[in-house]
Structure 1
Amino acid sequence: MASHARTGGLSPLQAAALAVGAVTAALLIGRRASPTPDHPRTRRWYRHLSKPDYTPPSPVYPVAWTGIQASLAYGGYRLLRAEGSPERTTALAFWAANQIGIAGWSEVFFGQRSTGWATVTSAALGASAVGYVATAGQVDKTAGQLGIPLVAWVSFATLLAEEIWRKND
């Protein structure tokens, strides 16, 4: 029992299942509105948007997000296993908010086709990602560092979303 209190009450298997489950859910929810072959109208809409020259080719997105979410899953696992503290609670709240933001952005951009609100959503996700890195790093340095790819990608994505908004609205 003492080891469970020291590790936040979750066994390694429980922590892994929760962390992997959360990031997988975020990816699956986000995919529901994404321009996949299952959504030809969304693919056409996205293809016809005026985009800046620095827009990555389509195959980059799943590769980038797989790496980002794998990093977040491992960071979440480490936090879930860390000793309970107010800092841990805050870091986990940011971690959860990031999963919600990741899942929701695709719905806003692709599902609602709202480039303006997607830019705002992306900026909010960026702020949440920075909050995660800062607070997670206080609890577990590695967990904090594992959030840096999210900060980098979302910073770029916010710039990209803003430019798409500007060019198309």
Structure 2
Amino acid sequence: MQFKVRGAVDSLANSRGRSTRHLAVGVGLTAGAVLASALIARANAPTKDNPETYSDYEDLDQPGFKPPAPVFAWVWPPLFLTLIVSGLRIWNAPKSAARTQALSLWAAVQGLNALWMALGPKRLSAQLATAVTTLGAAGAYIWRAKKVDGPAAGLVAPYAGWIGFANVLTEELWRKNHERPTIH
């Protein structure tokens, strides 16, 4: 049974031949980076006790094609999970310059994602610039990761698609409201 579980983990994480310690460090690093983005998003989310975070957001002219709020709650968890697995697969790939570049781009995507979520809708111009940069970094990561581990690149494709859609939403929100000051 133990060998079946390890075999399944090795298949998912691209960790065949890697030590359990190496795998655990990779899980810690990748999950920690993605979790940091999720925590930043959660810290910036409105609550009953702190509705101010996005208080002016609903006052902005909204795009007609914006999905309902619950869609975002359903979409982000699987996207975060695919980011973790993708980063872990690259982490476990054989050492090479391409692997180092892919890991660097993966880390950049995580940092940009955290920044994008931290900015929130009150800073639309900065959020739009960060979202566009995040999409570019995600595309560069996919391109580089494909040379290291094809499945790792494929795992990030839905994230890149979602970020592309988020760019369209953010741009439309900015376009409709850029004359109105949103920075407080």
* Normalised TM-score (structure 1): 0.88
Matched, 1:144 2:153: yes
- Asked if the contact 2:120/2:127 (under 8 Å) is kept, the reply is yes
Q: 1:27 and 1:140, CA in 2 relative to 1: closer, same or farther beyond 3 A? A: same
Matched, 1:157 2:177: no
The one-character-per-residue Cα deviations of 1:117-162 (angstroms, maximum 9, x if unpaired) are 2111100000000011111111011100011011101111111101
- Asked if the contact 1:19/1:77 (under 8 Å) is kept, the reply is yes
Name the counterpart of 1:122: 131
- Asked if the contact 1:10/1:81 (under 8 Å) is kept, the reply is no
Shift of 1:48: 1.6
Shift of 1:31: 2.3
- Asked if the contact 2:37/2:117 (under 8 Å) is kept, the reply is no
Q: 1:15 and 1:147, CA in 2 relative to 1: closer, same or farther beyond 3 A? A: same
Name the counterpart of 1:88: 99
Matched, 1:11 2:22: yes
Shift of 1:106: 1.9
Matched, 1:168 2:177: yes
Whole-Å separation in 2 of the counterparts to 1:140 and 1:37: 44
Unaligned runs of 5+ in 2: 1-14, 179-184
The one-character-per-residue Cα deviations of 1:51-107 (angstroms, maximum 9, x if unpaired) are 111111111112211111100000011111111111001111111011111111122
**What is the one-letter code of the residue matched to 1:118?**
Q
* Normalised TM-score (structure 2): 0.82
Aligned pair count? 163
Name the counterpart of 1:102: 113
**What is the one-letter code of the residue matched to 1:125?**
T
- Asked if the contact 1:8/1:83 (under 8 Å) is kept, the reply is no
- Asked if the contact 1:7/1:83 (under 8 Å) is kept, the reply is no
Matched, 1:41 2:52: yes
Whole-Å separation in 2 of the counterparts to 1:78 and 1:157: 26
Whole-Å separation in 2 of the counterparts to 1:129 and 1:105: 13
Q: CA RMSD in A?
A: 2.0
Q: 1:158 and 1:19, CA in 2 relative to 1: closer, same or farther beyond 3 A? A: same
Q: 1:66 and 1:37, CA in 2 relative to 1: closer, same or farther beyond 3 A? A: farther
Whole-Å separation in 2 of the counterparts to 1:28 and 1:87: 30
Percent sequence identity over aligned pairs: 34
Name the counterpart of 1:55: 66
Stretches (4+) displaced over 2 A: 6-10, 34-39
Name the counterpart of 1:131: 140
Whole-Å separation in 1 of the counterparts to 2:95 and 2:18: 7
